[in-house]
Amino acid sequence: MVDDVSSWPRPEVPARLVDAMRSNGGLAPVDIERFWADDAAAQRDPFGSDIPQVPLGIRMSWECVFAELGLEYDSWRFSRDEEWALGLSKTYNDKAEAIVGRRLLNEKPRDRSRGYPARKGLHDVFEAKNVWQAGSWWLEQSAHSEDELRALLDRADARLNGDLRAFLLPDNWNQERERLMALGVKPPLYRGQRGPVTFATSIYGVENLIFLIVDNPPLAERFSRTILRAMLAIAQVFDEEAGYTPETAPRGFGFADDNSALLTPEMYELFAYPILKGIFGRYAPDPGDRRYQHSDSAMEHIVPILGRLGLTGTNFGPTVRVDWIREHLPHAVIDGQLAPFTFSRNDEEAIVAEFLRDFEQAKAQRGLKFTTAGSINDGSRLTGMRLIMSAIQHFGRYDR
């Protein structure tokens, strides 16, 4: 074990910490029990004046199982063969417990008798099919020209003006809802959505949306208004099915909008901003409500616009700096800003250097929860997570 790590000069930290890790059987120096106790305190309020250290947002993901266990990546089987997936998760957790002191992945089988039947969603209102392709789910484009888009919006409006509940819910919904509500299981609410740019480019095309906003702003604005109207209507139906009124419905909403980077600030303000403003105005109107945006892309140019929405949580792309986010979003907990491929490629010195960079920019106002600026991908290792824990414990403390 390396003594007095915290006394190392800052410029030397990444290389020396990695050397210490390699000389200790690949395990970075960290007091595991103390780390998790301090992390629990920090998680309660990342802005807290008395928290001991930066909270850690990384808890790995099922995608990390394959490289860690030396297996070929197979997301399709993992999502469908539960017995196999749970077996891998248990093996992974055994290793995680030894390296980072926690079992990180779920090992319990789903109780299918307590699950609601599938419902339709926003993409169904806009007639986009969700298909499995290249290892992930993708929405297929449902309109290819302005004429097709107008016709699609006409049909979407007709659905919204009709019996939307009957459109969204399956035939066996009523009996299943009655059975599950008697067990105390409420149906899930609608509090998250692909962001408006990502959703719109999925169903209308990237270039099509950009040209539409530039060449035909009135139709683009109609497209935006219909998306907002549909989201509010869907959320209301699902709230009512769970027994909530507008006054009692739980607060908070989050968007995942990677493609937001494709629009200029002016284009984003015309098309996307009204949707976020409308949703947050309904479901997150108060200062403490959850207003979240994930956009793991180079979307720093729209951060000032998002600042006007008062986001309380962010997970932006790795090129977006902590100090830039904090300037425009002073009350947002920043989930970031470690580049996902720095982590998944096990660039150990860069992992530490990126943490030091982000901590330096965040420490005055706090509110940083250190995690990847985007997804945690296959290749991200438990030893890398432990390295981050070590960096936080020795160089990311607020109580020094």
H/E run at residue 132: strand 130-133
Q: Cis peptide leading into 361, omega within 30 of 0? A: no
- Residue 399: pLDDT band (50, 70, 90) is confident
pLDDT greater than 70 at residue 106: yes
For every residue of 274-338, DSSP letters joined together read HHHHHHHHHH--STTS-EEEEE-SS-GGGHHHHHTTT-SEEEE-TTS-HHHHHHH-TT-EEEEEE
Q: What CA–CA distance (Å, rounded) separates 180 from 182?
A: 5
Exposure on the CB side of residue 79, measured as CA atoms within 13 A: 9
Query: The tokens 């789903």 sit on which residue?
Result: 110
> pLDDT digit string (tens) for 46-105?
999 999 999 999 999 999 999 999 999 999 999 999 999 999 999 999 999 999 999 999
- Residue 137: pLDDT band (50, 70, 90) is confident
pLDDT greater than 70 at residue 2: no
| Residues 292 and 314 sit within 8 Å (Cβ to Cβ) | yes
Task: Output the furthest CA–CA distance in the chain (Å, rounded).
Answer: 70
> pLDDT digit string (tens) for 304-321?
999 999 999 999 999 999
> pLDDT digit string (tens) for 251-282?
999 999 999 999 999 999 999 999 999 999 99
Distances (CA, A) of 380 to 229, 247, 346: 40, 43, 7
> pLDDT digit string (tens) for 203-217?
999 999 999 999 999
Distances (CA, A) of 327 to 306, 320, 362: 12, 12, 11
> Around Cβ 158, how many Cβ atoms within 10 Å?
9
Q: What CA–CA distance (Å, rounded) separates 343 from 390?
A: 15
pLDDT at 3: 56
Question: Can you state the angle between helices 217-241 and 146-161, rounded to 10 degrees?
Answer: 30
pLDDT at 108: 96
| Residues 298 and 319 sit within 8 Å (Cβ to Cβ) | yes
pLDDT at 157: 98
pLDDT greater than 60 at residue 142: yes
Closest listed residue to residue 376, CA positions, set 63, 106, 70, 92: 63
- Residue 1: pLDDT band (50, 70, 90) is very low
Closest listed residue to residue 354, CA positions, set 366, 336, 367, 369: 336
Question: Can you state the angle between helices 382-395 and 32-43, rounded to 10 degrees?
Answer: 70
